[in-house]
Structure 1
Amino acid sequence: MFGLSELKQTLFYQQAFEEGEQKGRQEGKLLAVPPMLAAGLTIAQIAEALELSIDDVKTSAQQSE
């Protein structure tokens, strides 16, 4: 039978897991945008600090309003 340990060794599982981790990191960064704006940082400063595009920071800022 194909168990969990065998599934974790498949390329499909490893790629899906990595994709999920990347999405989680991106969402975490976007959650940091509103407090950084409230602290007085500019969109450009936030984008640079979080390694995001300016468009992503602007979108996140607009969604939090």
Structure 2
Amino acid sequence: MFELNDLRQTRFFQDVFEEGKKEGKQEVFEEAKQEGKQEVFEEAKQEAKLEVIPQLLAFGLSIEQIAQGLGLDEQVVRQAAQPKS
């Protein structure tokens, strides 16, 4: 069975991760941690998880796999997977 650790080894995941870093998300994480703003850090981390859900679905992972891998409730994943209007 395809697990999250397997996904992390794929070129797709690595490209998506690098793209996120280029957009400055990693800087936000590090800055928030250094300044002791745990709440800001957690919000940014949650936002990043939600943003990657459509890409993980496109990669073929199920709602359940994504929820388990990201540590999110399945309902949260379903909501994030719905197209924005």
| Same fold, judged at TM 0.5 (above) | yes
Corresponding pairs, count: 51
Check the 8 A contact 1:33/1:46 in 2, yes or no. yes
Does residue 35 of structure 1 match 2:55?
yes
Does residue 44 of structure 1 match 2:51?
no
Q: Give the secondary-structure state (helix, strand or coil) at the position aligned to 2:82.
A: helix
Q: Where is the helix percentage greater, Structure 1 or Structure 2?
A: 1
Q: What CA distance in whole angstroms lies between the structure 2 residues aligned with 1:59 and 1:24?
A: 18
Could you say which structure has the greater relative contact order, defined with CA pairs below 8 angstroms and 6 or more residues apart?
1
Q: Which runs of 5+ in 1 are unaligned?
A: 1-12
Judged with a 3 Å threshold, the aligned counterparts in structure 2 of structure 1 residues 48 and 31 are, in CA distance, closer, same or farther, namely: same
Q: Kindly report the root-mean-square deviation, in angstroms, between the aligned alpha carbons of the 2 structures.
A: 1.8
Q: Give the secondary-structure state (helix, strand or coil) at the position aligned to 1:55.
A: helix
Check the 8 A contact 1:34/1:64 in 2, yes or no. no
Does residue 19 of structure 1 match 2:39?
yes
Deviations 1:8-59 (A, max 9, x none): xxxxx84xx1111000000001111000000111000000011111011001
- Which consecutive segments of 4 or more residues in structure 1 shift more than 3 A? none
Q: What CA distance in whole angstroms lies between the structure 2 residues aligned with 1:26 and 1:58?
A: 15
